[in-house]
Amino acid sequence: MRRDHKPYSMRLLVNFIRRFYTRWRLTPQFTAVGSGLEVIGPHRLEIWGDDIYLGDNVHIQTSRGQMSRLCTWPNETGGRGRIDIGSHTLLTPGLQIVSADHVSIGDNVMIASRVYISDSDWHEIYDRLASPGPRAPVHIGENVWLGEGVKVCKGVTIGANSVIGAGSVVTKDIPANVIAAGNPAKPLRELEKGRPIKKREAMFEDIKEYNKTMRYLHYLNHNSNGFIAWIRQIIVPSRKG
């Protein structure tokens, strides 16, 4: 659809159902969850395994045709992987994080669509039955921004504030405060020294004001929608608003 034709009352109902489903179905799947978890399309988020931790105000978005997955897997020592996701992070559709060792993601990180993060090769080169194969922890520093389609391989550390360009494959460490891109990803330039970076945590400094603002935005988007027009668009879609 060109826009959402739901009446405002239906928008509120959908929001309530989404929050209820998140608390009832998803929250118990995590080992620990901070406050303010928000999941758009929670039925399209797959959680598999133990030791998955979320900080405060984690926002996870999914979309039709793009499942997101957080998965920890047993390793050869008898242990299993671990995923730590910091506070105020944004995870968007198609994200896959798969761990047989340890993937840690700092606060205020933004991860674009179709990003893949893995701390293992998942098979050994000469013994293709050996799983999870070579592994090494992945650390993504505070306030990192991963562009669309980025691949982050085992043993990689990405330093704080750095930006990884769309489609890049990160096979080696990336220092802090740089813009990097390519296959394999390499630093292209440094961020401007002394220039402040506004982080996602600023959105949540006054959580009551944040929630009020979000409700008002939903009201602006839906208050002019009527039930009859909404039903008509469902039955007979058209270009008319």
- Domain extent at residue 25: 1-30+206-236
Question: Average pLDDT, whole number, for the chain?
Answer: 93
Give the CATH number of the domain where residue 176 resides: 2.160.10.10
Encode pLDDT of 5-26 as tens digits: 888 999 899 999 999 999 999 9
Task: Retrieve residue 138's tokens.
Answer: 């992945």
Q: Are both 48 and 151 inside the same structural domain?
A: yes
Do 16 and 70 have their domain in common?
Answer: no
63 and 160 together in one domain: yes
Residue 45, domain member (yes or no):
yes
Do 88 and 136 sit in the same domain of this protein? yes
Residue 184 binned pLDDT confidence (cut-offs 50, 70, 90): very high
Whether 123 is catalytic is yes
What are 125-144's pLDDT values in tens digits? Answer: 898 888 898 999 999 999 99
Query: Does 201 fall in a domain?
Result: no
Q: Are strands 96-99 and 116-118 parallel, antiparallel or unpaired?
A: parallel
Say how many domains are in the chain.
2
The tens digit of pLDDT for each residue in 44-93 reads 999 999 999 999 999 999 998 899 999 999 998 889 999 999 999 999 99
- Position 228 scores a pLDDT of 86
Same domain, 26 and 37: no
Domain identity same for 108 and 9: no
pLDDT at 2 over 80: no
- The whole-angstrom distance between residue 104's C-alpha and the CA centroid of its chain comes to 13
Same domain for 70 and 173: yes
Q: Pick from 35, 42, 39: which is nearest to 57 by CA?
A: 35
pLDDT (tens digit per residue) in 142-159: 999 999 999 999 999 999
pLDDT (tens digit per residue) in 191-241: 999 899 999 999 999 989 998 998 899 888 888 888 888 888 888 887 765
Q: Say what the pLDDT of residue 1 is.
A: 59
Report if residue 133 sits inside a domain: yes
Determine the angle formed by the axes of helices 207-222 and 8-21, rounding to 10 degrees. 130
Selecting among 123, 139, 218, 222, the annotated active-site residue is 123
